[in-house]
Structure 1
Amino acid sequence: MKNEVINKIVVNDQNELLLKLIGQGSPTYQYVYREAVGVYWDENQIAFKSTPIREWTVYDWFFHIKDIVKSGLNLELLIDEKATWENITNEEKNKIKNALQQQV
């Protein structure tokens, strides 16, 4: 399994969650849409993204994207220790970080 590192987690103006990668990604990441579960690759931003957030929380979308990328692309998404978070509440950020620590 290949790894990619997330260096920025942001909710944009369209209310989509973006997980931006340190590297350039891969052209094959575009095929994540075939899973048909609201997860897409944004080549311009070098990020995996959700559809607009409505019923689900940022936490739910974060782990949904992480799981779909893992199962659909055989790719593990890891968070850089110095990753930046934008437009995400401290509550959601801490909930995600705590859940990730439990997985180790």
Structure 2
Amino acid sequence: MSAHRVQVLVRLRRQGETSHSDLRQALGVDGASITRLVKELEGEGLARRRLDPSDNRYTLAALTPDGERAAADLERSHQAYQERLLDGVSADERESVLRALRHIRTNITQQEERR
């Protein structure tokens, strides 16, 4: 399953019914890609679409019960994977790595701003 498909499923599970526009912004992809992804999920019985009743220019997407189960399974699998990756790494070590990564991200941002 593609990363974008996973992101759509998980986002719809966490946020409930969401507009295609919000999905597009959250995932950073174009509108046609979101429409295609949601239509594929709809065709597989994982999502449903409807026009926004308050503004029919927008399409809303939501998970079906099968989509809810699929998204929950993906989240459980991801959690188990993270636990395996971090096995034996102490909380202090994890915090040190996160602190270093935040510092690196700050440095990258500052370098990009100087360009």
TM-score normalised per structure 2: 0.29
Quick one: higher RCO (CA 8 Å, sep 6+), 1 or 2? 1
Q: 1 or 2, which has the higher strand percentage?
A: 1
TM-score normalised per structure 1: 0.31
Q: Work out which of the two has the higher radius of gyration on C-alpha atoms and give 1 or 2.
A: 2
Q: 1 or 2, which has the higher helix percentage?
A: 2
